[in-house]
């Protein structure tokens, strides 16, 4: 048996600390539901399994509530469930069920991100960074990024550079090129796209 050394609670969650130094983070209501208290002897693994079973229905409903507000990736749903005190096994099981029922579709979200960011003048590197930040898995991310052609990137970089030309018109040619390069790089364009765009602009100026 395992002895509960202490139970530390905050507004929503509880940390169950055992004498062997291990810890289990759950919802505060799980402590109340399973009538847990300090100095209680329990089978830690059996307790974890019972909490998992009781958490799953609530976790699934919590995930649906999150999805009602906006589309979320599997990574984002899992992170929010863990923050709410659901066990990792529960978060994984909920996400798996949502993926199977197509209520979570990371590939679709990745395609939307690519479309939105490229249309607003963002480069491939910036898009890739956004996909990573949303927790899109590598396979879905790479598939979505394949839709961005080098020609489209060069064209977008050139259009953005044209808009910025007036801003840097007071600089000499070399300084203007440097400023434009830096601005395009901050937007996530590759150096190939930047060089291609700026060479076309130089030809037009000449």
Give residue 195's domain range. Answer: 150-205
Helix or strand holding residue 179 (H, E) = helix 173-186
CATH code: domain of residue 198: 1.10.10.10
DSSP 83-107: HTT--HHHHHHHHHHHHHTTS--HH
Residues 41-84 have pLDDT tens digits of 999 999 999 999 999 999 999 999 999 999 999 999 999 999 99
Residues 111 and 168 in one domain: no
d(CA 187, CA 200): 19
Over residues 78-102, the pLDDT tens digits come to 999 999 999 999 999 999 999 999 9
Q: Residue 1 and residue 91: Cα distance in Å, rounded? A: 27
Count CB neighbours of 162 within 10 A.
Answer: 14
Domain holding 25: CATH number? Answer: 1.10.10
Same domain for 110 and 176:
no
| Number of domains making up the chain | 3
């Amino acid at each position: 048996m395992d002895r509960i050394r202490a139970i530390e609670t905050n507004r929503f969650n509880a940390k169950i600390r055992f004498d062997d130094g291990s810890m289990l983070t759950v919802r505060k209501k799980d402590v109340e539901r399973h009538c847990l208290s300090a100095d209680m002897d329990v089978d830690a693994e059996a307790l974890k399994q019972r909490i998992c079973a009781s958490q799953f229905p609530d976790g699934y409903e919590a995930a649906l509530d999150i999805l009602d507000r906006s589309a979320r990736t599997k990574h984002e749903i899992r992170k929010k469930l863990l923050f709410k005190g659901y066990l990792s096994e529960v978060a994984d099981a909920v996400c798996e069920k949502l993926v199977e029922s197509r209520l979570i579709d990371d590939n679709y979200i990745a395609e939307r991100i690519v479309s939105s960011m490229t249309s607003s003048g963002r480069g491939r590197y910036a898009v890739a960074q956004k996909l990573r930040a949303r927790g899109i898995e590598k396979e879905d991310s790479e598939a979505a990024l394949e839709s961005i052609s080098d020609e489209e990137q060069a064209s977008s970089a050139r259009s953005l550079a044209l808009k910025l030309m007036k801003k840097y018109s007071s600089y000499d040619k070399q300084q203007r090129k440097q400023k434009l390069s830096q601005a395009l790089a901050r937007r996530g364009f590759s150096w190939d796209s930047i060089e291609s765009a700026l060479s076309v602009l130089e030809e037009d100026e000449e």
